[in-house]
Structure 1
Amino acid sequence: MHPSRKACDLCYRKKIKCDGETPRCSPCVIYKSDCTYKASSRKTPSKKQAAAQRQFREDSLQSRIKTLEDQLSTVLEKVDKLEKQSGSEQNTPNSTPRHASEEDTMVANWASSLPPILELPPLQEVLPIVEHYLATFNTIMPLFHSETLLQKIKDWYENSHVRDTVTWAMINVVLALSPHTGWSNNVAQTGNAAVYLNNAQSVLTDVIMGKIDLINIQVLLGIVILFRTADDLRPALILTSTALRLAHRLGLHNRKASEYLCPVVSLQRNRVFWIAYILDRDISLLSRLAPIQLDGEIDLSLPPSEATDDLTGFVFAADGRTKLNFFRARVELARIQGKVYESIYSPSAQNANSEERTKNVSRTLRMLDEWSSGLPTEFSLASLSQANVPELSRYLCLLYATPVSCRALLCCASAWDSYHYSKWVGRVQDYGEQVVTGQVVSHAPTLPHGWKQLVDESREYLKLFATVIPRDSYFIRMTLCAYNSSTICLMANSIISARNKRTEQSSEFAWTDTIFSDDMAEHSYREIRDAVMRLGFYANNRSQMVPLK
């Protein structure tokens, strides 16, 4: 008899569905583990309870921010009123000193406490964090011009009388981005990222409603990058839309608005706009919503494919000579992401017949093929996995996550679901169960259009993924969709491809099963973990069977 807890120790630890089979459940068979129930039962909250807890935390945070903003607004109004009264009294002859009321004293106390709200760590602590960010993530996603950012930070510390909330928000955003987007062995620094983010959020009203400048848009986009890895993408969607509207006000999408500016400022304006474009296309596709920015309303050149003196945005291959403009490649992929939305989720795609949909999907798949073929050979997935250059592998694994996810969507998704929950994957699971249990199966599920290319690309992507060690939280969340898509694809291929030799199937399954590691599994939704486990179980059994004739 099993204890009252339904899941065995392995399934409970990995947070996967346990079927309770004896003597060993299916996941324990796959992981070659003893099926035990020794660990004490710890009741986990239900989905409804977990959602309620998350909502409570979000509401509480928003309430605190709103309260702080209201208090600041009230205090600033009263301070302004007192300053006007003071000026009036000083300019009035024969005026007599006025005794301070209780309200005046309260306002004075509040006013004297305002500066600490804009406090930052000492400059000697801030600069290494900022320089780390500029040397890592900002090199491939150049949200800030390095010299300009460093100068603004030094001015903040050297000239206390010119400090403003927007600059303070910018510094906090950079301090949060540095540990969030790259490797960080400093646990305290990583933990402070949430504090810095909350600081920036506390002055969002000033950032959005104040005088519009490039820095305001940079702050908003920095916060979007921080929110991009959250489960709830609504804040990122709202702030991306706001940032793009402000970008339009400044004319960032139009080259004429920058033609009389100095080259450095003009270049940075272009880069900030393209980052907003990337985030808009990326987050909109994840949310199955139409992007805000239309291609027809952009009058800007793409980032250069060849470098001159400025190598910002470029990465170098293992040979140290061949280079790729990572930033330009990501902008090109963002444009394709817009086409993926049009092919799958747009109203026209939902109303299209099968022939029209196939035609649109084929056109977008060709765009992905052209994008891949346009990269130098040294940056192909196969070359990168063999080169085994950790930092380069990390950047390119982030880059290739987009085309792999797009290809999986185009092959298997419909307007009403994503790849991981698609009806086609469900049919593969049903087919695998029928084969493993010895039921009579007339034929395997029909392979989607472009399946072979998806299988090949998924296999190469997971090989490259395996070379990235360690895997920080940002990397895991940004590659999670492509990783799960690739894993499911290879397991599904092992189940339905009767033409492969049994040894090849067994080898591929064993490797795929190994790559589905704990760090990725714990970040995946339960439905996806269950899908992978079911497919893995059927693929393992299928690989040990004689191939169908």
Structure 2
Amino acid sequence: MYPSPTSAERSEEEARQTRKRTARACDACYKRKIKCDAAVPQCNWCSHHNIPCTFQRVINKRRKEKTNTNPQQKSTNLAERIDRIEKLLTDSLLKEASPHASPSASGSASFGLKLPSFPALSQSSVSSSVPLHFAGRELSVVSLLTGIPLLLPEGQEWIQTRTGQKIDVEKLSPTRPPWEKQRALNTSAWLSDLKTGTLFDLPDKTTVELHLKRYGLSLMQSVFPILDPKLFQETINAVYQEPYPDSYYGQAGLRGCIFAFLAFSSLIIDPCTMHQPPQPPPVDGQKFFTQANLSVPQILQESPTLEGVQTVTMLALYDLVTGSLQSANYYGTLAGRMLLVLGAHTSPESTENLVSPVTSLDFRVQRQLRSIFWICYTVEKDVCIRIGQPQMFTEENCDLTLPPGYVERLYSTMNGSHCCFAQESPDNPLFPVDLRLSIIKSRAYSALYSFKALKKTDAELLKEIRELDDELERWRMSVPLEWRPTLSFSHETPDPNVSMHTVMLRLNYHLCMTIIHQASSRCKSWVKGQGGMMDGVSSSLALSVEASRSTLLYIEAAEHVLVDGIFWTVIFYPMSALLAIFCNILQNPSDPQATKDLALLRTTTGMMERLFSRQPYAVKEIVHLKLIADFVSELYRLATCAIEKAWNERT
């Protein structure tokens, strides 16, 4: 044990420690600005220099008082801030609860619901890669090519100048674009399945096979060739093999593919197979989507496989069809990265085995991966345009050779029955949109809306617009005459061959015209008024507006052929067209066409309500329908005010 100090030593040590706690520097050390050990009776410095060690100077208490009062002052200021915040929150809640507080409470006359308002986001909270321009004016900073969910102060000022009215920011600037919604997950059911251990239980094998049989007989197999029926049957056999596999992690891709397929199959509505026995039992698509989603982290830890790519791609399609664009973008990016690892972006389909029956397993796998590549390529172009995100599949990195015989097969099959084609030719997919249009969309985005494109001069921009317009016209002329879309559509010249396939064809053609020619709004010649160039820019913008009118007129004429559940797939086309027409009315309110355009705004609201009523689970999504109705009603109100203001000024 260590020896204990004597009492004298303890008393001297205790005195020194006490002195250290309350001491200050002696007069000599303080004067020389050196560290004082405050030893008794003399500090080290004074003892070494044999001088008196005194503590006689007067200490200034000002600093001590400041340090003592500062925390109290901070506490007082913090308390006052908290009181102000609480008061503001209380006032805000009371105002929100009041039936007459918010103008959005009396929004669309179509719905008698009291719903929460949607506050506008700050500009700093949203990325701004592609600002929207119209006739030389920058209206928004949100990353959308054809939408203005968020308005710049300059855009608001321009609208108020043209209309003489103050805009309702809550209606015209919602937190999300009108064509995008956020899916609400049933967390209580998910937690219940997690507690009982049934979260990853497989469905009945017969149910999966019946859904696979319906998919193989439906048009969806040709439009979305996400599965090869023979390869997927092998996946089913591997998952349901005996003895039952103990390890879930070893089969994450296989199980996830089963869950994702049933979620995707729940969205299939095909009149061709609706009455063909045996009908598969209905499934809870949201439940199987959640189960497949939970398998994604393990899939990403494993080496990429066909089943893993199919799982993530079907999750992206499910989100795209149900309107969750951000989630669809994330899943599509994951699937794209997996396809890049597997080499599907540079492996065009071979023509060697087209004559003989397909018997090679490797050939089937490679062909299926290539089909999934085209699905992801098509989906990415649509999502990039709708949310303004950069592209991953670019022409510089991908082999865009079309599948053998694709162009000839695409329009020849439209002369017959889609149902017969789906049963007789399951190995010849059509894809959702003409792949050549998707390639033009990709080139238009890169040339006109990429980060590099935003720095181009007026001459470079107009050159790109002219070249893209020529390419789009060459595509249009290559379409057989009976299916060829026209720039202007009217009820006087209806489409005699209208079908779901021609609807998507025309809508995408009009969208390409809009995004190509609307880029002319960025030209600086709008501000400078440079004579001949101004005329060219004006005609280019007029083409985009005319394409937007044709979009609304064609959807109204083809409303009867739109299948149920298609609302979130097509809503972007009329909403983006509405915004272009709205801006044109404000730009030219005295034009005779403005009155006709105003009627289009009015009739489109009812058309979208009818489409929404045919959407499954419409009651659960009534909140978003009210947001859309408020958005369109505010556009109609402001457009009406602009025309009235122009008329009053002229008279």
Q: Normalising to structure 1: TM-score of the pair?
A: 0.64
The question of whether the paired residues in 1 share the 8 Å contact of 2:378 and 2:433 is answered with no
Query: What amino acid is the match of 2:455?
Result: N
Q: Tell which deviates more after alignment, 227-236 or 130-139.
A: 227-236
Structure 1 residue 274 displacement after superposition: 1.6
The question of whether the paired residues in 2 share the 8 Å contact of 1:174 and 1:222 is answered with yes
Within a 5 Å distance, the mapping from 1:389-404 to structure 2 comes to: 393-404=499-510
Query: Which residue of 466, 471, 474 corresponds with 1:362?
Result: 466
Structure 1 residue 302 displacement after superposition: 0.9
The question of whether the paired residues in 2 share the 8 Å contact of 1:133 and 1:178 is answered with yes
| 1:105-153 residue CA offsets vs partner (Å, 9 max, x unmatched) | xxxxx9xx86x44434434433443344441323112111133224533
The question of whether the paired residues in 2 share the 8 Å contact of 1:167 and 1:215 is answered with yes
Residue of structure 2 in register with 1:339 after alignment: 443
The question of whether the paired residues in 2 share the 8 Å contact of 1:173 and 1:223 is answered with yes
Structure 1 residue 531 displacement after superposition: 5.5
The question of whether the paired residues in 2 share the 8 Å contact of 1:172 and 1:199 is answered with yes
Q: 1:353 to 1:473 in 2, by over 3 A?
A: farther
- Determine whether 1:285 maps to 2:368: no
- Determine whether 1:44 maps to 2:120: no
Residue of structure 2 in register with 1:465 after alignment: 555
The question of whether the paired residues in 1 share the 8 Å contact of 2:601 and 2:636 is answered with no
Counterpart-to-counterpart distance in 2, 1:223 and 1:368: 31
Residue of structure 2 in register with 1:376 after alignment: 480
Q: Tell which deviates more after alignment, 345-354 or 255-264.
A: 255-264
Counterpart-to-counterpart distance in 2, 1:201 and 1:139: 25
- Determine whether 1:4 maps to 2:110: no
Query: What amino acid is the match of 1:301?
Result: T
Residue of structure 2 in register with 1:130 after alignment: 212
Counterpart-to-counterpart distance in 1, 2:345 and 2:202: 34
Structure 1 residue 195 displacement after superposition: 0.8
Structure 1 residue 182 displacement after superposition: 3.7
SS in 2 for 1:342: helix
- Determine whether 1:516 maps to 2:516: no
Query: What amino acid is the match of 1:170?
Result: C
Counterpart-to-counterpart distance in 2, 1:378 and 1:256: 30
Q: 1:491 to 1:237 in 2, by over 3 A?
A: closer
RMSD of equivalent CA atoms: 5.0
Counterpart-to-counterpart distance in 1, 2:477 and 2:638: 32
Counterpart-to-counterpart distance in 1, 2:589 and 2:301: 62
Structure 1 residue 223 displacement after superposition: 0.8
Residue of structure 2 in register with 1:529 after alignment: 632
SS in 2 for 1:161: coil
| 1:387-418 residue CA offsets vs partner (Å, 9 max, x unmatched) | 566xx6223323433332333233335899xx
SS in 2 for 1:292: coil
Within a 5 Å distance, the mapping from 1:454-493 to structure 2 comes to: 454-466=544-556, 467-469=558-560, 471=562, 474-489=565-580
The question of whether the paired residues in 2 share the 8 Å contact of 1:488 and 1:535 is answered with no
The structure showing larger relative contact order (alpha-carbon pairs under 8 Å, at least 6 residues apart) is 2
Q: Percent identity?
A: 16
The question of whether the paired residues in 2 share the 8 Å contact of 1:495 and 1:538 is answered with no
**Structure 2 unaligned runs (5+)?**
1-98, 122-173, 353-359, 422-427, 527-533, 613-623
Counterpart-to-counterpart distance in 2, 1:11 and 1:220: 39
Structure 1 residue 303 displacement after superposition: 2.0
Structure 1 residue 277 displacement after superposition: 1.8
Query: Which residue of 278, 293, 318 corresponds with 1:201?
Result: 293
Q: 1:498 to 1:42 in 2, by over 3 A?
A: closer
SS in 2 for 1:203: helix
Counterpart-to-counterpart distance in 1, 2:109 and 2:266: 28
- Determine whether 1:166 maps to 2:253: yes
- Determine whether 1:252 maps to 2:344: yes
SS in 2 for 1:316: helix
Q: 1:128 to 1:336 in 2, by over 3 A?
A: same
Counterpart-to-counterpart distance in 2, 1:486 and 1:469: 20
The question of whether the paired residues in 1 share the 8 Å contact of 2:345 and 2:370 is answered with yes
The question of whether the paired residues in 2 share the 8 Å contact of 1:176 and 1:194 is answered with yes
Counterpart-to-counterpart distance in 1, 2:535 and 2:571: 26
Q: Tell which deviates more after alignment, 518-527 or 164-173.
A: 518-527
Q: 1:377 to 1:55 in 2, by over 3 A?
A: closer
- Determine whether 1:412 maps to 2:518: yes
| 1:11-42 residue CA offsets vs partner (Å, 9 max, x unmatched) | 33447xxxxxxxxxxxxxxxxxxxxxxx6x73
SS in 1 for 2:559: coil
Within a 5 Å distance, the mapping from 1:227-376 to structure 2 comes to: 227-229=319-321, 233-255=325-347, 262-299=362-399, 301-306=401-406, 316-317=413-414, 326-327=430-431, 330-376=434-480
| 1:394-446 residue CA offsets vs partner (Å, 9 max, x unmatched) | 23323433332333233335899xxxxxxx9xxxxxxxxxxxxxxxxxxx999
Counterpart-to-counterpart distance in 2, 1:215 and 1:57: 27
The question of whether the paired residues in 2 share the 8 Å contact of 1:179 and 1:193 is answered with yes
Counterpart-to-counterpart distance in 2, 1:160 and 1:400: 52
Query: What amino acid is the match of 1:298?
Result: C
Counterpart-to-counterpart distance in 2, 1:284 and 1:151: 35
Counterpart-to-counterpart distance in 1, 2:397 and 2:286: 36
The question of whether the paired residues in 2 share the 8 Å contact of 1:304 and 1:328 is answered with no
SS in 2 for 1:304: coil
Structure 1 residue 377 displacement after superposition: 1.9
Counterpart-to-counterpart distance in 2, 1:266 and 1:58: 35
Counterpart-to-counterpart distance in 1, 2:184 and 2:590: 52
SS in 1 for 2:344: coil
Query: Which residue of 216, 222, 231 corresponds with 1:139?
Result: 222
Counterpart-to-counterpart distance in 1, 2:474 and 2:565: 28
Q: Which has the larger radius of gyration?
A: 2
SS in 2 for 1:296: coil
Within a 5 Å distance, the mapping from 1:204-223 to structure 2 comes to: 204-223=296-315
Counterpart-to-counterpart distance in 1, 2:104 and 2:205: 52
Counterpart-to-counterpart distance in 2, 1:140 and 1:509: 36
Residue of structure 2 in register with 1:71 after alignment: none
Q: 1:262 to 1:300 in 2, by over 3 A?
A: farther
Structure 1 residue 60 displacement after superposition: 6.8
| 1:263-312 residue CA offsets vs partner (Å, 9 max, x unmatched) | 4333222111222222233323333232112312223521234589xx7x
Residue of structure 2 in register with 1:441 after alignment: none
| 1:482-538 residue CA offsets vs partner (Å, 9 max, x unmatched) | 2123344556667777998x6x87667546632432426865657852554136536
SS in 1 for 2:259: helix
Counterpart-to-counterpart distance in 1, 2:231 and 2:447: 41
Counterpart-to-counterpart distance in 2, 1:492 and 1:138: 40
Within a 5 Å distance, the mapping from 1:144-155 to structure 2 comes to: 144-153=227-236
Query: What amino acid is the match of 2:207?
Result: E
